[in-house]
Amino acid sequence: MSQLPLTPQQEQAFTAVQAFLTGDDDCFVLQGSAGTGKSTLISTLVAHLKELNKEIKLMAPTGRAARVLARITRHKVFTVHASIYQHADVESEEDDDLHYQFNLRHDCPENAVIVVDEASMIGNDTRVEYPQHAFLAFGSGQVLTDLMQYAGLLALLKSQVKIIFVGDSSQLPPFGESISTALSAPMLQQQFGLRCQSFQLTDVVRQAEHSPILKQAQFLRDAMISQQFRRLSWQPRQADFDVPPEAEAIRLKAEHPFSNTVILLAHSNRRVNELNEQVRAIIWQQAHAPLQVNDILLVCCNHFKSNLMNGDMVKVITIDAEPEYKKITVPKRKNFTTQTVHLLFRKVQIRFRVSHDEAQTIDTLILESFLTGRRGNLLYEEQQALAYDFHRRMIEQKIDRRSPQYLDAMLNDPYMNVLQVKYGYALTCHKAQGGEWDTAIVDLERKFFYKNEASYRWMYTAMTRARKRLWFIGTVPFTAMDWLD
């Protein structure tokens, strides 16, 4: 991929990064809204670091974002979790409260330059990290803190590692948090005592300056900066910025079900489920069709056995004819009761991209009861049932919890490592972050939108998933948005 020439403002940013790399500061925050050329600048920076023979570690929060960055830079990119955590040990506070701990790696090269793209998604809230992974615990549960620890920037004698955070602070912050700390130099200084520099890209590059999508996104961004949340005046109606009938939009996705060109975005898991059902009803010519060969699935939880990450997409190649049912009775020793959990499994073969030009096919087990259910995450009780079922089988085989055999079995057990997936034709906006599609169809449920920053930020994030065409469905007059007060 040939390097695009830098704009004058990008040249200023690049000069600032070069000065940072030779100075004494720890972190650099490069911000820029959609269309300002952050990707071009990262690509130029990586090429420059290679010329200097610097140790480069490129990271992104999701597998999708990592593959996008790898395509742009032609350099290996790993997710943050895969980069900084390693398999550790089985731990438990109670016999019925089993979890698997991933500890921090200690292999970061002393003089590395770490570049983290889509950094607005890097969270630091244990309340979000741990409940979603009842038997998978990562470090302290504070990903941003763990990243700093991995880089050696929180030690009394700091390492020479440099971290560059790149992202768009106008997008949604990490789930459950109100601000993207990784894109705020003052917050990084305040929370971690780090010396930080920053640069804000504001000029839209020539290739994007006439895009109606980016013009509308800029309107939203300006409103967030000024904190003036008025009625939205849309761009003139045109083919690539339109409000078609919902049935037409659903049909467009159904006509491109297996390509990465069209995506449906919604605010709630409930609405995402409805849209997925509508698309699948058209594709398979029946309502509530069972899982089919060629169905597209969304990975909903990191799956370290296959290196699939939360937000990745996979395609179904083969399906076992019969599912497997498990009825698991879990003892609750804290209150001397039991709970029965019903789980349905099915063996499938799936294919997914591991890089821009390479795909992989694997056989795996999926949790079908989760696939067809309404919730976006497993219940804690369901996760504990998986853990207890595994532990019971190890007891039957007389394998001690503290033995290496137990740990090895846990890493390879198909039920403990069951793949948690949902249908992937429609996504929530949080799940879509880090990705781009030629066409984004954004569903606006009126009850979720108000004249406030959170609503504008959600819409900005959803709109900027579109590269070429943006359609809205829902209760949206194209001349103005009538917000709830």
Q: What is the mean pLDDT of the chain?
A: 87
Mean local confidence (pLDDT), 166-186: 91
Contacts of 404 (CB under 8 A, 6+ apart): none
Q: Which H or E run includes 314?
A: strand 313-319
pTM higher than 0.95 for the full model? no
Query: 5 pLDDT exceeds 60?
Result: yes
Residue 208's pLDDT is 64
Q: How confident is the model at residue 484 (pLDDT cuts 50, 70, 90)?
A: very low
Quote the percentage of the chain above a pLDDT of 70.
Answer: 88
Q: Which residue has the higher pLDDT, 479 or 427?
A: 427
Q: Which H or E run includes 472?
A: strand 466-474
Residue 479's pLDDT is 44
Residue 147's pLDDT is 96
> Would you say the CATH fold of 210-268+278-285+427-484 matches that of 8-206?
yes
Contacts of 326 (CB under 8 A, 6+ apart): 342, 343, 344, 345, 389, 415
Query: Which pair of tokens denotes residue 358?
Result: 């390479």
Question: Could you give phi then psi for residue 477, rounded to 5 degrees?
Answer: -70, 135
Q: How confident is the model at residue 381 (pLDDT cuts 50, 70, 90)?
A: confident
SS (H, E, C) 276-301: HHHHHHHHHCCCCCCCCCCCEEEECC
Write the pLDDT tens digit of every residue in 274-332: 999 999 999 999 999 999 999 999 999 888 788 888 888 999 999 999 999 999 988 87
Write the pLDDT tens digit of every residue in 97-155: 666 778 899 999 988 999 999 999 998 876 555 544 456 778 888 999 999 999 999 98
Residue 232's pLDDT is 66
Query: 9 pLDDT exceeds 70?
Result: yes
Residue 92's pLDDT is 59
E-state strands within 83-178: 85-92, 98-104, 113-116, 136-138, 162-167
- Separation CA 324–CA 347 (nearest Å): 9
Residue 480's pLDDT is 46
Query: 156 pLDDT exceeds 80?
Result: no
- Residues 31, 36, 37, 41, CA torsion sign: negative
Instruction: Count CB atoms within 10 A of the CB of residue 237.
Output: 11
Residue 38's pLDDT is 94
Q: Which residue has the higher pLDDT, 239 or 56?
A: 56
Residue 214's pLDDT is 85
Query: Which pair of tokens denotes residue 156?
Result: 């009394």
Instruction: State the burial class of residue 371 (Cβ atoms within 10 Å of its Cβ: 0-12, 13-18, 19+).
Output: buried
The three-state secondary structure class of 242 is strand
Query: 231 pLDDT exceeds 70?
Result: no
Quote the percentage of the chain above a pLDDT of 90.
Answer: 54
Residue 482's pLDDT is 43
Question: Could you give phi then psi for residue 364, rounded to 5 degrees?
Answer: -150, 175
210-268+278-285+427-484 falls under which CATH superfamily?
Answer: P-loop containing nucleotide triphosphate hydrolases (3.40.50.300)
Query: Which pair of tokens denotes residue 482?
Result: 């009538």
- Separation CA 451–CA 459 (nearest Å): 12
Mean local confidence (pLDDT), 66-80: 89
Residue 140's pLDDT is 86
Quickly tell me which residue has 């449920």 as its tokens. 445
User: Are 61 and 79 contacting, i.e. CB atoms less than 8 angstroms apart?
Assistant: yes
Q: Which residue has the higher pLDDT, 239 or 59?
A: 59
Write the pLDDT tens digit of every residue in 335-378: 678 889 999 999 999 999 887 778 899 999 999 999 999 888 88
Contacts of 394 (CB under 8 A, 6+ apart): 401, 406, 409
Per domain, the residue ranges of the chain are 8-206, 210-268+278-285+427-484, 301-419
Query: 450 pLDDT exceeds 80?
Result: no
Query: Which pair of tokens denotes residue 371?
Result: 């696939």
Q: Which H or E run includes 54?
A: none
* Right CATH for 8-206 from 3.40.47.10, 3.40.50.300, 3.30.9.10, 3.40.1000.10: 3.40.50.300
Write the pLDDT tens digit of every residue in 390-399: 989 999 999 9
Q: How confident is the model at residue 447 (pLDDT cuts 50, 70, 90)?
A: low
Residue 485's pLDDT is 37
User: Are 299 and 373 contacting, i.e. CB atoms less than 8 angstroms apart?
Assistant: no
